[in-house]
Structure 1
Amino acid sequence: MIRRFFVGSAMMAAASSLAQRAVVEREGSGTISINLAGYRTGGDAASRGFLSVLKADLNRSGYFRVTSSGATVNVVGQAQAGSQLKADVQVYKAATRQRMLGKSYNASAGDYRTLAHRVADEILYAVTGKKGMASGKIAMVGTRTRYKELYICDMDGHNIRQITQDKSIVVAPRWTPDSKQITYTSYKYRNSPCIFLTGRGRPLSKDPGLNAMGSISPDGKTMALILSKDGNPELYTKSLRTGITRKLSRTRRGNEASPCWSPDGNHIAYVSDSSGRPHIYIISKDGGTPKRISSSGTENISPDWGKNGYITWCSRVGGKYRIVVANPSTRTSRVLETDWADYEDPRWAPDGRHIICSRTSGYRSAIYLLDTLKDSPVALVSGSGDWYSPAVSP
């Protein structure tokens, strides 16, 4: 199932710290070998599960290669659980025994996965100084119940929870900047799509016609969205305090879609087919003349502007949908290497290195992880229906 432009025709119709972390040697493929063979667990399922998830997170990070000998970094300590899981974690540079992390953790035994994700991110930061992604969350649309509902899962694809019960069509989820809520478009009011916020019963936007693809600014004060109240779908901003809307695009014969904010909140990237085909544009939050930044491919859709300053989007190249990573300042871009399937809906992971996207093959869609530096795509969520339109917590 391929989501073009408006997700189907229905949408159209309606320092010293660095010294402590130390510089570690890279090996082979550019990964850091890390040894957890000396880490001990109890006989309980929670502590064993904690260690298993921790190893998987470190491997998935792209920065580490978990090994049982000859590593650059050693992780030692122990985890044991009763009603509470207690984990002691010590991380050392193998050559010098320099300690890079030493910390004790406590969590309920049932939250061992959450704790493992947290520890994985803290180990990554201690060793490399880079932010991890393991503690993030993915919002996505799934058809497990026949309807298109909103779901949430961990960054490794586990702990899937259904969020909406609209028994209708849900599309275009986006996390709020504080990662506590999600905006999404729902057709629960039949042919009048509205923008909702999780935890709130009333719509954030319910103007006549299309209300879609709400994206909240980094400061949490303004929402960029698509409205058709004045005719064709146009890009607007809406104050979340006053409710006042402002039209940014004015393309009488074109359609706009998929707004997303720059990291500083001063610009919005979006899709417009004003040139005849969908392309990616950037416009000031105060309006003005938009600047087109995509050129290759027969259509370019679904942009996401990462905190790393790069924009990723989906481009149709050679009859297939591919993921593009672009620098909007230099207007340089590259297409990520993938297999023959269609890759769509790209969203930056919190680490600024990985991308979460949907992969469609044989009319079935799943959620995949892409490493922009190396490695093959990794399936995160598949089966029990189709899964697409991911959004990743900041």
Structure 2
Amino acid sequence: MDWNSLGAEFVVVGMYTAGSDGNLESSVLLFNVADGGRIMGKHYTGYKREDYRSLSHRIADDIYKAIMQIDGIAGTKVVYISKRGNYKEVFLIDADGENERQLTNDRNLNVLPAWGANSTEIYYTSYKDFNPDLCGVYITGTGSWFISRRAGINMSANYNEARKLIALTLSMDGNSEIYTLDRQGRNPQRLTNNRAIDCSPCWSPDGSLIAFTSDRSGSSQIWLMSGGGGNERRLTKSVAYADSASFSPRGDKIAFAGQSSRGGRFDIYVINVDGSGMQKLTRGEGDNENPSWAPNGEHLAFASSRTGQYQIYIMDADGSNVRQLTKQGENYSPDWSPFFN
């Protein structure tokens, strides 16, 4: 086969065997068409027949890294809220839009899921006990528990693995403020103290900074502060409204949802941590909200109403190559997983 005449740059050659014991094995070779050199050669074992998707994701990610020198996202997942009937439950889906599964069955209103400790836990807010309480559930869908049941809101959790802390919004003191808790919901530390509404915290990867939403300047904008509180400074200044900050995995950029004029459509923006280089990634196709970075920093997940009802989409980090991820129900508030070990 003359691969050059077909415009191919790389060729993958692979084979697999399915043993009578139910185990899968696969061998994969990757070649550079230009010089015929072998780029990658790997043999995969230890997969059950029912784990064929995990095996294919592993192969895809290894090929991607061999070519691009960046970790692939085929093996990652996105957690989100799905409205089915009268209830909003926590759902999980693979990054290719397959293998959707329901994690909670609270038969109530659940909102704002986020990845938690060890990439095996999901934290979310539930109204199942008649108060917006912070709960946890394992990604297997088992072992739901309460984390924080303080009076008022317990919402917008964001876990940082480096600090082993949850940043969240609490209103137990009568106003919406940013706090940190440990995984068990203990040792609350108040980080903001302002009469304005402070909410929706997001850690930088190393835990040195927290981005959050505040209306202390008159309208909701993205602010930054140190990871332990203090040194607060406004980040967004050229949009009418900004919310839902998400730090990039490299810690150099923040994605957020914003309005260019009050009452207008929400779009996804990206800005450098120093406040420079703001870019608008979506442009008026419905409302576009709740951005979340892929763990390799090359893609973003977000919720959009562009088809008439909210669905989860992913796009490249420059706003190109938009793909719809979910198709059933109405879906909100995606949070992209870290890499799994």
Higher helix residue share: 1
Deviation at 1:246, TM superposition (A): 1.3
| 5+ residue gaps, structure 2 | none
Is 1:302 matched up with 2:244?
A: yes
Corresponding residue to 1:269 among 196, 199, 211: 211
Name the structure 2 match of 1:47: none
Q: Distance in 2 between matches of 1:204 and 1:220?
A: 17
| Identity value in percent | 34
Deviation at 1:132, TM superposition (A): 1.1
Name the structure 1 match of 2:28: 89
Name the structure 2 match of 1:367: 312
Q: Residues 38-49 of structure 1: matches in 2 within 5 Å?
A: none
TM-score by length of 2: 0.90
Corresponding residue to 1:228 among 168, 171, 194: 171
Contact 1:77-1:90 within 8 A present in 2 as well: yes
SS at match of 1:281: strand
Is 1:75 matched up with 2:12?
A: yes
Q: Distance in 1 between matches of 2:152 and 2:14?
A: 59
Is 1:102 matched up with 2:44?
A: no
**1:323–1:240 CA distance, 2 compared to 1 (3 A):** same
Contact 1:177-1:219 within 8 A present in 2 as well: no
Q: Residues 1-394 of structure 1: matches in 2 within 5 Å?
A: 69-81=6-18, 83-106=22-45, 107-176=47-116, 178-190=118-130, 192-199=131-138, 200-219=143-162, 221-240=164-183, 243-252=186-195, 254-309=196-251, 310-318=253-261, 319-329=264-274, 331-338=276-283, 340-361=285-306, 363-373=308-318, 375-383=320-328, 385-394=329-338
Q: Distance in 1 between matches of 2:185 and 2:17?
A: 51
SS at match of 2:50: helix
**1:68–1:268 CA distance, 2 compared to 1 (3 A):** farther
- Report the AA paired with residue 44 of structure 2: Y
Contact 2:117-2:164 within 8 A present in 1 as well: no
SS at match of 1:124: helix
Q: Distance in 1 between matches of 2:247 and 2:318?
A: 18
| 5+ residue gaps, structure 1 | 1-34, 39-66
TM-score by length of 1: 0.78
Deviation at 1:330, TM superposition (A): 5.2
Deviation at 1:289, TM superposition (A): 3.2
Q: Deviations over 1:117-158 (max 9, x none)?
A: 111111111112111111111100001243000000100111
Q: Distance in 2 between matches of 1:349 and 1:221?
A: 21
- Report the AA paired with residue 84 of structure 1: N
Contact 1:342-1:359 within 8 A present in 2 as well: yes
Q: Distance in 2 between matches of 1:362 and 1:132?
A: 29
Contact 2:266-2:284 within 8 A present in 1 as well: no
Contact 2:292-2:300 within 8 A present in 1 as well: yes
Q: Distance in 1 between matches of 2:299 and 2:135?
A: 28
